[in-house]
Copies of this chain bind each other. A is one copy, B any other.
Amino acid sequence: MPLVALDWGTSSLRGALIAEEGRVLEGRTFARGILTVDKSGFAAVFESCFGDWMQPGGLCLIAGMAGSQQGWLEAPYCPCPAGFADIAGHLAWVTFNGPGRIAIVPGLSSDKDGVPDVMRGEETQVFGALELLALQHARLVLPGTHSKWVTVSDRRVTGFSTWMTGEFYALLRQHSILARTLPSGDTPHNDAAFEQGVACALRGAGLLHTAFSTRTLSLFKRMATEVLPSYLSGLVIGEEIKCQQLQRGDSVVLVGADSLTTKYEHALSQLGVATRCVGQQAAWHGLYKIADTLHAP
């Protein structure tokens, strides 16, 4: 019987119907992130979006913010170091008035110098990606509004950190003094300006300073207005990458949508870092492997 696999995040809800060997039969995406759902409304949203996929005896596994305090049912974080068996062994089972069973995958927590960090959903993508690429050790990045950098050793997540890169970009783009200089609408991505932004960040003194160059380069007419957003994107992604203390020749696994991983690939290549990419398949494969442990004798 196919697995109903969901990635239920803050701003979107994606699902896939997955057959044997992880083959995706069908996919759906809805703008029903948990921020749009009342605490008591999760079952109804699930029913309307994926009810037709659920069969008696069927299984649905959910990764992401649906397992947070603001979600459907809180699935407490597994502390790092944590392996695949830790998350697969701590599913939170939803009480659900319908056919089949529904469980939520827990996120991970870490602690460094007394400062906690958390992820929800990315852990499933990480274990899926490791499996797909047959890796035991890896450095991974999952770019996004809040990017995650993850270190895996012997197939266990030994540490990770969150980077508010996508959100800083949006804040600077929309709400800062730079918004007055930047074009108001969308502009096509410009590789050269992006690369210049990354280079500035990599040699630069820090984003608090380099961000201002978006304004002065425009003020002195050294950069065309329509490529400034790409330059700013290069500045913030370059800053994130600069802080990872990577060496030339290191290798990084990029997990996520092409639109973002392409930019990170480009920026990492400027540092001489090798990359491999895994797309949305990582989440579905991670959930499929968890389902597999439940059917094992």
How many A residues face the partner with a CB closer than 8 A? 41
Let me know if B117 and A205 touch, CB within 8 A. Answer: no
Q: Does chain B have a CB within 8 A of A233?
A: no
Known contacts A161-B205, A205-B161, A212 near B171 by CB under 8 Å? no
Known contacts A206-B243, A217-B116, A219-B116, A212 near B164 by CB under 8 Å? yes
Let me know if A146 and B212 touch, CB within 8 A. Answer: yes
Q: Does chain B have a CB within 8 A of A115?
A: yes
Let me know if A116 and B222 touch, CB within 8 A. Answer: yes
What is the 8 Å Cβ interface bit string for chain A, positions 206-228, against chain B (1 contact, 0 not)?
A: 11111111001101101000000
Q: Does chain B have a CB within 8 A of A150?
A: no
Give the contacts of A144-180 with B (CB-CB under 8 A).
146, 161-165, 167-168, 171-172, 174-177
- Bound form: Cα–Cα A203–B212 in Å: 24
- On chain B, the residues within 8 Å of A113 by CB distance are 200, 203
CB-based nearest B residue for A213: B115
- Bound form: Cα–Cα A12–B115 in Å: 39
- On chain B, the residues within 8 Å of A163 by CB distance are 206, 208-209, 212
- On chain B, the residues within 8 Å of A212 by CB distance are 117, 146, 162-164
From B117, B164, B200, B206, give the contact of A115 (CB < 8 A): B200
- On chain B, the residues within 8 Å of A207 by CB distance are 206-208
Besides A115-B213, A164-B176, A167-B177, 4 other CB < 8 A contacts? A116-B213, A165-B208, A168-B208, A208-B239
